[in-house]
C-alpha cells in the first residue's frame, strides 16, 4: 500500500472518544462527590435519557450548545439550589481532571507531527477542549482547533468544515482526511464536506448503508499502521 502520508497534507481529528477518553459516568461521579452526592448507575441512566436526545438535536442544528448544557442539568440544579450553568461548568472541570488520551494517541500524534498538518474539529465544549489539550501537552500539535460551540454550527453541518478549511488556507480537499468515532457527525460530516474519512470503529459496528467511510480502523494503533506502514508501534 502506498504511503498515505504522501496523499494527505492534513489530518483532522474529532476529540472525544477519538483522541481522548470521554467517560461521562466517571466525570459525573467525581463532580457529584464534590457535592457529597453518591451518583449511581441508575442516576446516570436517567441523565442519559435526557442528555442523549439533546446531543442528537444539537448535531441536527435544532438547539444551541447552551440549551444542551443547561437542560441536561436542570433537574439536579433545582435539587442542589445552584444554576444549571454552574453544574455544567463543574462537570466539564471534572472531565478535565480525569481526562486521558486514548491508547496509541500520543504515539500517533508524536509520529505525525512534522510530517502532516494536524487539526481538530469537535462538537465538544470549549471549556473542556482547551484545558484538556494543555494538560495532555497536545496543544502545540493541533492547529486549527475548531469548536462547534464557538461557531454555532456542529458536525455534520458542512459549515464547521468550511470554517476549518478557511483557517487551513483552503487546502485541496483530496489532501484532507477526517478521523472520528461517530458515523453520524464525523464521517457524514466529512463526506458532506467532500473529504476522505476514516471511521474509528471501536466496537465493530456495521457500516450504515448511506454513510460509507473511505477507511475503517478499530483503534489508533491500527490507524498508525495505516498511515505509517511498517512502524513498530508499542501496543
Q: Which of 14, 16, 157, 196 is catalytic?
A: 14
Beta bridge partners of 119: 12
Measured in whole angstroms, the distance separating CA 157 from the mean position of its chain's CA atoms is: 15
Active site residue 97: no
Interior/surface letters 87-113, b for 16+ CB within 10 angstroms, e for the rest: bbbbbbbbbbeebebbebbbbbbeebe
Contact (CB, 8 A) for 181 and 14 = yes
| SS3 at position 95 | helix
Beta bridge partners of 13: 120, 179
Nearest-angstrom CA–CA distance, 201 and 192: 19
Interior/surface letters 132-163, b for 16+ CB within 10 angstroms, e for the rest: bbeebebeebbebbbbbbebebbbbbbbbbeb
| SS3 at position 75 | helix
| Cα dist from 16 to 24, 128, 165, 225, whole Å | 11, 10, 21, 21
Nearest-angstrom CA–CA distance, 124 and 191: 20
Positions marked catalytic: 14
Amino acid at each position: 500500500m502506498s504511503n498515505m502520508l504522501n496523499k494527505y497534507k492534513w489530518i483532522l481529528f474529532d476529540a472525544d472518544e477519538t483522541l481522548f477518553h470521554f467517560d461521562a459516568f466517571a466525570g459525573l461521579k467525581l463532580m457529584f462527590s464534590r457535592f457529597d452526592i453518591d451518583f449511581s448507575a441508575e442516576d446516570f441512566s436517567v441523565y442519559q435519557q435526557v442528555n442523549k436526545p439533546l446531543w442528537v438535536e444539537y448535531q441536527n442544528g435544532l438547539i444551541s450548545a447552551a440549551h444542551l448544557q443547561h437542560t441536561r442539568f436542570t433537574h439536579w440544579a433545582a435539587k442542589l439550589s445552584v444554576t444549571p450553568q454552574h453544574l455544567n461548568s463543574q462537570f466539564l472541570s471534572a472531565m478535565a481532571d480525569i481526562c486521558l488520551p486514548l491508547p496509541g494517541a500520543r504515539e500517533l500524534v508524536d509520529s505525525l507531527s512534522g510530517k502532516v498538518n494536524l487539526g481538530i474539529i469537535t462538537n465538544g465544549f470549549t471549556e473542556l477542549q482547551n484545558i484538556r489539550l494543555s494538560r495532555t501537552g497536545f496543544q502545540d500539535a493541533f492547529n486549527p482547533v475548531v469548536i462547534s460551540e464557538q461557531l454555532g454550527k456542529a458536525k455534520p453541518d458542512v459549515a464547521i468544515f468550511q470554517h476549518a478549511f478557511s483557517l487551513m488556507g483552503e487546502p485541496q480537499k483530496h489532501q484532507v482526511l477526517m478521523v472520528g468515532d461517530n458515523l453520524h457527525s464525523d464521517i457524514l460530516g466529512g463526506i458532506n464536506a467532500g473529504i476522505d474519512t476514516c471511521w474509528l470503529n471501536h466496537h465493530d459496528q456495521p457500516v450504515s448503508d448511506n454513510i460509507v467511510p473511505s477507511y475503517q480502523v478499530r483503534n489508533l494503533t491500527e490507524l498508525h499502521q495505516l498511515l505509517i506502514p511498517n512502524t513498530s508501534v508499542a501496543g
